[in-house]
Structure 1
Amino acid sequence: MPDLICVGAIAGGFGVQGEVRLKSFCTTPEDIAAYAPLTTEDGTRSFTVTLTRPIPTGFAARLGGILTKEQADALKGLRLYAPRDRLPSLPDDEFYHADLIGLQVFDTGGAPLGEVIAVQNHGAGDLLEIRRGKGQESVLLPFTQAIVPTVDIAAGRIIADPPEGLLSTT
């Protein structure tokens, strides 16, 4: 299991005083500040986080060491990570996205469907991006209890019951 979990991303600068627009990936969005200091994925940079106010796209926030609009703008797109041991334990039916990446996906009959290469969310719920095989395009599978009834992190596999035609190769 990865030691770092992505908890947010910087959407760009906010205002002219060095604040950033911070999007939280936490269940309770304002909890992101409690997990600070947050780091970059490679661990080369670390930031304290102070939420200054809610805004339509998340929060306006101050990051330690970021003092100007130019510095804030330069961070656009940066993902922020917290060590797993600072995050809450999850119930059995919830997972950190990082834990799903790399799991093998099988249908209910045991036939291999591919490997999870990403978890995406465009606002309507999580989607598992599954690499079907070499030379094949990936497919997005809704991550719902009905379509993904079993996730076995320890065994490294997911059992899925995809909708008819979703994975057809025609």
Structure 2
Amino acid sequence: MVAKDRNQGKNQLRVGRLVKAHGLKGALKLELYTDNPERRFTPGAEFTLQVPEASPWHGKTVVVREYRVMNGNPVVFLEDVDDREGAETLVRAILWIDQDDDEVEDDAWFDHQLVGLDVVRDEVVVGKVVRVEHFPAQDLLIVRSGDQDIMVPFVQAIVPSVDVRAGRVIVTPPPGLFEELPDTTDTADAGESSGSDASE
């Protein structure tokens, strides 16, 4: 699941992250955030880079030279990146591409489509999405529940369904994400106390 972003007035979709250099000819292994990599990573496709300001690639774009799957892993070759040393300078960079509002991508939504949606667990509204945070590993939905903001990983296992038209997202959070777990120590102590009273 991917949250898309609006950057400098344009709609942008995060489509991948360069994970590590592969081989000696400048290839980079990809972590994909798109359901259609063959269409996204065609030769000549240009991506905006999200990298630290100290990176030599800050403010630059990259162009795809070749995309292929090697040993089950998606791999991309970029123009002007011809050796492993050059590829190493791009490790952990996130790739963004401009996208039209009416272009459909499975399991991907713009931030503005998610903000304001009710968050529903077991048919009960437990909060509302107030913003989306983008991180290299995953996106987070920031959910206002009562007087606190809860960070919900925007992944299929925890957010199995998004229904923008119905105005809600369905969540199946792990125990303790939306409520404090009972103190098992106190429960155990209470059991021991009642046991000792019964024996007396």
Consecutive unaligned residues of structure 2, counting only runs of 5 or more, are 52-57, 182-200
Task: Name the counterpart of 1:138.
Answer: 151
Calculate the aligned-residue CA RMSD, in Å.
3.9
Consecutive unaligned residues of structure 1, counting only runs of 5 or more, are none
- Normalised TM-score (structure 2): 0.58
- How many percent of aligned residue pairs carry the same amino acid? 17
Task: Name the counterpart of 1:78.
Answer: 93
Task: Give me the whole-angstrom Cα distance separating, in 2, the residues matched to 1:116 and 1:11.
Answer: 27
Q: CA deviation at 1:81?
A: 0.8
Residue 80 and residue 113 in structure 1: after superposition, are their counterparts in 2 closer, same or farther (change >3 A)?
A: same
Aligned residues: 157
Task: Name the counterpart of 1:21.
Answer: 29
Q: Is the 8 A contact 2:159 2:172 kept in 1?
A: no
5 Å-filtered alignment, 1:39-118, equals 39-41=48-50, 44-56=59-71, 58-85=73-100, 89-90=103-104, 94-99=106-111, 102-107=115-120, 112-118=127-133
- Normalised TM-score (structure 1): 0.66
Any idea what the Cα deviations from partners look like across 1:87-117, whole Å, max 9, x if unmatched? Answer: 97228xx552443554443446666344353
Task: Give me the whole-angstrom Cα distance separating, in 2, the residues matched to 1:27 and 1:110.
Answer: 30
Residue 80 and residue 57 in structure 1: after superposition, are their counterparts in 2 closer, same or farther (change >3 A)?
A: farther
5 Å-filtered alignment, 1:147-158, equals 148=162, 150-152=163-165, 158=168
Any idea what the Cα deviations from partners look like across 1:119-166, whole Å, max 9, x if unmatched? Answer: 89x8xxx98643446765523472223xx5x3249xxx5354657965
Rg larger in 1 or in 2?
2
